[in-house]
A and B are shown apart, each in its own frame.
Chain A
Amino acid sequence: MPSITAQNARQSAWLAASVLPGIFGIVTLSVIWKLGMYFPAKTLAQYAEKVLGKFLGKMLAGIYVLFFLMANIVIVREFAEVLTVVFMPETPILVFAALLVLVGGYAVAKGLEVITRAAQFVLPLFLLSLALVMLLSIPDMELGRFRPLLEGGLLPIINGSVAPASWYGQVILIAVLLPAVNKPKEVFKQGLVMLAAAAAVFTSVTASALAVFGPELTGNFLFPVLEMARYVNAARFVQRMEILVMAFWVTGIVIKASVFYYAICLTSAQLLGLKAYKPLVYPVGLVQITGATFLFGSTLELMGFLAKVWSPLALVFELGLPLLLLMVTLMRPTLRRNTR
């Protein structure tokens, strides 16, 4: 992720990674939260039907199923891509994609509670490993690499913000998860904390990659954080930490993929009017495996798709459509009153 940002915003990538995308994330979060408050205990697919009517609502839900599906296919592919490119060049993409989807599917079949508990368990380890790598990279950092600040004016920064914004915009998932939350009122506050934490992590990762490698290399690397971990050499003994980074990155991706997986299953079950999403878990998994394996020809194709097509498109789904829903809701006072 830092590499796409760095290609555009160069040495100001850390700025591009934080300010504008952060604002985007907050706006998305508030739109979704507002919608969630108007329609308590309803997911996106359910209130879309109320707001837009049966036909349009179903269509929107269908579009969101496709969006989540595509998002997860990208995640699975990225995962398999990193592992094959960096660690196991001879293993086919299919193997990793299938295994990730299998593990994710197991979690989804067990329910949201299981995923969240696992996330709770893994999060500290994940942050710790990232912090460790950054800490050990300090000797290699050179703050001069941040200068000159805002070299090309604001435009490159705005361009560089698109990819991270689509990443922050993944708070859209809250629209699906909100009914499962114990205290939905607190979600907004918690969401803000979460966004702030994500911004802090992402900014510091981008900043440290920049400080270690400079904008040129960071933009060229496929996976700058991994390279950073590779570069670490503390006390001539703590070397080649990419396995550690990889290990915890895998855990993070597994969690993320399972949440998206869950969103796909739940939304499509609601779209089809099913009582439980369990029967959908395996078919959806199969689609994901196939998509992740065959949709992209190569790593570069994936990167190009991510930077040029997917990120801008994701913005529409993450903010555009929910905003539309909110506006329609506000314009139809009866709807508001009835659902209160």
Chain B
Amino acid sequence: MFKQLLKKFMGFGGKKGSGQGRASQPQEKRPLSANIDKNLQALRETFDLCGDVIFREFKLNAEPPIRAFVTYVGTLCDEERAGEHVMKALMHETTALPANVRLTQGSALEIVQNRLVTLTELNTSSDLLEVTKHMVNGKLALVIDGSATAIIAGVPGWENRAIEEPDSEPSVRGPRDGFVENLTTNLATIRRRVKTSRLKVENIEVGVLSKQTVSVLYIKGIASDKIVAEVKERIKRIKVDNIIDSGLLQEFIMDEEITVFPLIQTTERPDKTAASLLEGRVALIVDTTPMTLLVPATFITFLQAAEDSYNEAFYATFIRLLRFVALNIALLLPALYIAITTYHQEMLPAKLLNSIAEARSGVPFPAFVEAILMELTFELLREAGTRLPKNVGQAVSTVGGLVIGQAAVQAGVVSSAMVVVVALTAVASFTIPNISASFSIRILRFSLMILAAIMGAPGIMLGLMFILFHLCGLRSFGVPYLSPFAPLSPSDLKDTFIRVPWWAMITRPRLFGAKEPVRQETDNGPVKPGEGGGSS
């Protein structure tokens, strides 16, 4: 049903494969010419009306002088470095060349490349379109008269946000760095944690109109080849104008089209990414996006915070169980409140029932309306809080707290019991570490509330079974979403609701780290002084 509806929205009938529209035009090659004027003309035409592109013609310091020009997007390059390492080298330092090396039109390209330009990131290209592509990526192009090949030099120099603590996943213990909008910086933060040549970084360019780099990260030998291949396959299949954010990529490469659950994990934390890589998962970093995608994702990963791995095992286990309880509260409490006050009053102890009945006596609405009203109000406040600038947001929360907490009860619109329920639900939903998971819980909460209003507790149960069936049917890159619970793999339960001490985590998760299952030696456990090393 939803699929058919989706097709309607897709326009032109949603026919697959027939989309030979604008988005997938193949672009033919246009070789550079040996004539500098023609090249200059062609590039000027390409960047017509682009105010941020700089052309600079000059002459190489040789006898006779050789014409050349550099061109780059001025806002993306570091002018100082370009001047130092390219211009100055070509215009002055040619005098420092050894006597037997003569700079002529024919040898210029080779000599400039090998002896003059003092930059490490240096390529050549003889295709106009490729040159253009490099330029919009922040590279500098140097074209010398007489050669049909341009030298591409990397002098990146745009403004970046400094590495900050990740806003969406703060932690008390553990590293404080978060991803930023710059791909290279992000890769550096991961490489600094996974120091091995087996960490592979494959760059794939996505987008037809504007190409965006997507880095596929995995550890060779640990990550399943099948999953890695599948990930790359799915990314390469995308034919779209542009990928603005990893959120877009996420929807393109998901398994199932219609689900409220996030089938791909997102994180802003390099440490979490590194840990996931070591478990055999694959990370996707999109340039200009601070949110990294981790695949495959299972349901339980959304209840795990990075911090759990650093805190003491008992404490981490306690927190995880607490989070699970919170998940249930966030999902079920308003629905249960509706079901109990409407249909199953006998479930409550007499005194509690009395006080709830008393609180509800002045309320004009049935429990369902009351609950929907309050939950919606809360969602409104939450949304207002996120959209508004931080200092105004404070005001909203004050007003909201007053309206919800006091005025609504005093005015007799809702009961005080309902306020408690909403507050508990809200607090519980904040404990879910992953934002997208908490979104899905919020949506499901409303559907369960409706079921509870119609059919009471049995309705809730049937709704939950429906959700369970749905979850059991989901897969993320071939890995069952509910693993390791269903299908059950007992040895993987060690890092789910409980977290065993690190020295006991001998094996990697079976479903994504099976290629090299053993993570550590079995005798890593703590030893009493004096017994060290004698156990094996």
B376 lies within 8 A of chain A by Cβ: no
A326 lies within 8 A of chain B by Cβ: no
Min CB gap A128→B, angstroms: 14
Contact surface of B with A, Cβ cutoff 8 Å: 343-344, 346-347, 349, 454-459, 461-462, 464-466, 468-470, 472-473, 480, 482, 485-488
Say whether B473 contacts A111, CB under 8 Å: yes
Say whether A117 contacts B455, CB under 8 Å: no
A100 to B466, CA, bound (A): 10
A103 lies within 8 A of chain B by Cβ: yes
Q: Give per-residue flags for A59-101: 1 if the beta carbon is below 8 A from chain B beta carbons, else 0.
A: 0000000000000000000000001000110010001100110
Q: Which A residues lie within 8 Å of B346 (CB)?
A: 240
A-B contacts, 16 of them at CB < 8 A, read A87-B457, A88-B458, A99-B459, A100-B462, A103-B466, A106-B469, A106-B470, A107-B469, A114-B472, A115-B469, A117-B486, A118-B465, A121-B482, A243-B457, A246-B458, A247-B457
Say whether A83 contacts B468, CB under 8 Å: no
Additional 16 contacts, C-beta under 8 A, given A239-B349, A251-B464 = A87-B343, A87-B458, A95-B454, A96-B458, A99-B459, A100-B462, A110-B473, A117-B482, A118-B465, A118-B468, A120-B487, A121-B486, A243-B347, A243-B457, A251-B461, A251-B468
Say whether A114 contacts B462, CB under 8 Å: no
Residue total for A at the interface (Cβ-Cβ under 8 A): 31
A254 lies within 8 A of chain B by Cβ: yes
A200 lies within 8 A of chain B by Cβ: no
Q: Quick one: given A103-B469, A117-B480, A122-B468, are A250 and B461 in contact (CB under 8 Å)? A: yes
A239 to B351, CA, bound (A): 13
CB closest residue in chain B, given A86 = B458
Kindly identify, within residues 105 to 161 of chain A, every residue whose CB is under 8 Å from any CB belonging to chain B.
Answer: 106-107, 110-111, 113-115, 117-118, 120-122
Q: Which B residues lie within 8 Å of A114 (CB)?
A: 469, 472-473
Contact surface of A with B, Cβ cutoff 8 Å: 83, 87-88, 91, 95-96, 99-100, 103, 106-107, 110-111, 113-115, 117-118, 120-122, 237, 239-240, 243, 246-247, 250-251, 254, 258
Q: Which of B343, B469, B480 contacts A88 (CB 8 A)?
A: B343
A103 to B470, CA, bound (A): 10
A99 to B450, CA, bound (A): 14
Say whether B461 contacts A247, CB under 8 Å: yes
CB closest residue in chain B, given A238 = B349
Min CB gap B372→A, angstroms: 21
Please classify the interface of chain B as helix (H, G, I), strand (E, B), loop, or mixed, using the class held by over half of its residues: helix
Q: Which B residues lie within 8 Å of A95 (CB)?
A: 454-455
A133 to B19, CA, bound (A): 60
Say whether B455 contacts A88, CB under 8 Å: yes
Q: Which B residues lie within 8 Å of A88 (CB)?
A: 343, 455-456, 458
A176 to B343, CA, bound (A): 40
Q: Which of B349, B462, B480, B488 contacts A254 (CB 8 A)?
A: B462
Q: Which B residues lie within 8 Å of A113 (CB)?
A: 472-473
Q: Quick one: given A88-B455, A239-B349, A240-B347, are A246 and B461 in contact (CB under 8 Å)? A: yes
Q: Which A residues lie within 8 Å of B487 (CB)?
A: 117, 120
Closest 8 CB pairs of A and B: A117-B486, A117-B472, A250-B461, A110-B473, A121-B486, A107-B469, A254-B465, A114-B473
Say whether A103 contacts B462, CB under 8 Å: yes
A208 to B487, CA, bound (A): 33
Q: Which A residues lie within 8 Å of B455 (CB)?
A: 88, 91, 95-96, 99
Min CB gap B256→A, angstroms: 11
A118 to B462, CA, bound (A): 13
A239 to B480, CA, bound (A): 38
Q: Which A residues lie within 8 Å of B347 (CB)?
A: 240, 243
Q: Which B residues lie within 8 Å of A103 (CB)?
A: 462, 465-466, 469
Say whether B486 contacts A120, CB under 8 Å: yes
CB closest residue in chain A, given B468 = A118
Say whether A87 contacts B465, CB under 8 Å: no
Say whether A87 contacts B462, CB under 8 Å: no
A96 to B458, CA, bound (A): 9
Say whether A87 contacts B456, CB under 8 Å: yes
Say whether A250 contacts B468, CB under 8 Å: no
Q: Quick one: given A88-B455, A96-B458, are A120 and B465 in contact (CB under 8 Å)? A: no
Min CB gap A230→B, angstroms: 9
CB closest residue in chain A, given B336 = A243
A239 to B487, CA, bound (A): 35
CB closest residue in chain B, given A122 = B468
Q: Which A residues lie within 8 Å of B488 (CB)?
A: 120
Q: Which A residues lie within 8 Å of B457 (CB)?
A: 87, 243, 246-247
Q: Which A residues lie within 8 Å of B465 (CB)?
A: 103, 118, 250-251, 254
A107 to B488, CA, bound (A): 19
A75 to B465, CA, bound (A): 17
A96 to B456, CA, bound (A): 11
Q: Which B residues lie within 8 Å of A83 (CB)?
A: 458
CB closest residue in chain A, given B451 = A99
Q: Which B residues lie within 8 Å of A91 (CB)?
A: 455
Q: Quick one: given A246-B457, A250-B461, A254-B462, are A237 and B343 in contact (CB under 8 Å)? A: no
A114 to B465, CA, bound (A): 12
Say whether A243 contacts B344, CB under 8 Å: yes
Q: Which A residues lie within 8 Å of B480 (CB)?
A: 117
Q: Which A residues lie within 8 Å of B458 (CB)?
A: 83, 87-88, 96, 246, 250
A83 to B472, CA, bound (A): 26
CB closest residue in chain B, given A99 = B462
A251 to B466, CA, bound (A): 10
Min CB gap A242→B, angstroms: 8
A118 to B480, CA, bound (A): 12
A307 to B250, CA, bound (A): 56
A243 to B345, CA, bound (A): 11
Q: Which B residues lie within 8 Å of A107 (CB)?
A: 469
Q: Which of A95, A107, A258 has the most CB of B within 10 A?
A: A107
Q: Which of B343, B344, B459, B468 contacts A121 (CB 8 A)?
A: B468
